[in-house]
């Protein structure tokens, strides 16, 4: 598990800004307010628990989440990255480029170059920067064919992290999210338990105490080949085909969606 710095060496984090797409927005992890929570909200809570309470009953940690579903890397760089200079947070997390990699004809070398440009714009205004590798899609129908592109992009991300001294949450190596229960019905977004595993991984990557993201799943009865075929057909009809259709029409699930937590506010 990546823990490049111990908790004793981890600088104090009093403010945290999360930027990115649906992964960071927290899709398919229902929140207490009727919206979505997600790993970033869960990480913010873990960070907040390291801080004292204020007189108003809040934790002494300010948190903003600027992520919006469907956003491509250039959109994140244009809409979200510039806000970091104004906020000047102790920690920024960025997960971006995944939607670009999923597009036909995309070049992971080019996406990585643009990702590094975004990183160089963020680092002067953030105490620390946390990035994420892409998931291993070898068990995912259709997306498993993109595994090579994702691996190439991940290699670039690790090199970028080395060059800029960034923290890395290596979700590619996170074995627990290879379990079907880590994913929601659409197989594109994490389930609540999947988000919790990623939050724990992210916290440990920062040297912050957290549970074990690789804790064993409870035993479950295996699916028969016939059951798996039926599930795959239903998934393709209900989720894959509409997803492909949106891309062919140039539509995004994030059209007319704004950031859920646009300002740094106390938890």
- pLDDT at residue 265, as a whole number: 97
d(CA 172, CA 175): 8
Residue 3 banded pLDDT, cuts 50, 70, 90: very low
The region, left, alpha or beta by phi > 0 then psi within -120 to 50, assigned to residue 11 is: beta
User: What's the pLDDT tens digit per position in 110-127?
Assistant: 999 999 999 999 999 999
pLDDT tens digits, residue range 209-227? 999 999 999 988 777 888 7
For residue range 158-197, list pLDDT tens digits in order. Answer: 999 999 999 999 999 999 999 999 999 988 899 999 999 9
**Residue located via tokens 């104004």:** 86
pLDDT at 70 over 90: yes
pLDDT tier, 250 (very low <50, low <70, confident <90, very high otherwise): low
Q: What is the DSSP string of the chain?
A: ----S-TTTSPP--EEEEEESHHHHTTTSB-TTSSB--HHHHHHHHHHTTSPBPTTS-BS-EEEE---TT--HHHHHHHTHHHHHHH--SEEEEE-SHHHHTSTT--HHHHHHHHHHHHHHHGGG-SEEEEEPPPP-TTSTTGGGGHHHHHHHHHHHHHHHHHHT-EEE-GGG-GGGGSGGGB-TTSSSB-HHHHHHHHHHHHHHTT-----TTPPPPP-PPPPHHHHHHHHHHHIIIIIHHHHHHHHTT--TTTT---SEEEEEE-
Beta bridge partners of 261: 65
Higher local confidence (pLDDT), 118 or 6: 118
pLDDT of 243 above 90? no
pLDDT digits (tens, 9 = 90+) for 35-60: 999 999 999 999 999 999 998 889 99
Rounded Cα distance, 86 and 263, in Å: 11
Distance CA 1, CA 228 (A): 31
Over pLDDT 70: what percentage of the chain?
92
Task: Give the pLDDT of residue 251.
Answer: 65
Count Cα neighbours of 48 within 13 Å in the Cβ-side half-sphere.
Answer: 20
Specify burial of residue 179 (Cβ count, 10 A radius: 0-12, 13-18, 19+). middle
Mean confidence (pLDDT) of the chain: 91
List the domains of the chain with CATH numbers.
15-222+259-266 (3.40.50.1110)
pTM here? 0.90
Residue 223's pLDDT is 72
């Amino acid at each position: 598990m990546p823990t490049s710095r111990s908790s004793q060496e981890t600088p104090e984090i009093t403010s945290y800004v999360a930027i990115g797409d649906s992964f960071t927005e927290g899709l398919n992890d229902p929140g207490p307010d009727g919206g979505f929570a997600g790993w970033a909200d869960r990480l913010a809570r873990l960070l907040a628990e390291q801080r004292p309470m204020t007189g108003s009953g809040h934790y002494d940690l300010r948190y903003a989440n600027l992520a919006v579903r469907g956003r491509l890397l250039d959109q994140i760089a244009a809409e979200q990255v510039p806000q970091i200079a104004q906020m000047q947070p102790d920690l920024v997390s960025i997960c971006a480029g995944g939607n670009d990699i999923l597009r036909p004809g995309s070049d992971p070398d080019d996406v990585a170059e643009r990702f590094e440009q975004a990183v160089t714009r963020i680092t002067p205004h953030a105490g620390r920067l946390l990035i994420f590798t892409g998931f291993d899609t070898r068990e995912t129908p259709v997306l498993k064919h993109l595994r090579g592109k994702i691996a190439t992009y991940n290699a670039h991300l690790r090199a970028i992290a080395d060059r800029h001294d960034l923290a890395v949450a290596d979700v590619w190596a996170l074995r627990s999210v290879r379990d079907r229960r880590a994913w929601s019905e659409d197989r594109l977004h994490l389930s609540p338990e999947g988000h919790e595993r990623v939050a724990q991984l992210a916290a440990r990557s920062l040297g912050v105490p957290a549970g074990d993201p690789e804790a064993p799943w409870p035993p479950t009865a295996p699916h028969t080949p016939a059951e798996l075929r039926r599930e795959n057909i239903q998934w393709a009809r209900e989720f894959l085909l509409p997803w492909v259709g949106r891309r062919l029409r140039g539509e995004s699930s994030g059209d007319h969606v704004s950031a859920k937590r646009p300002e740094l506010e106390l938890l």
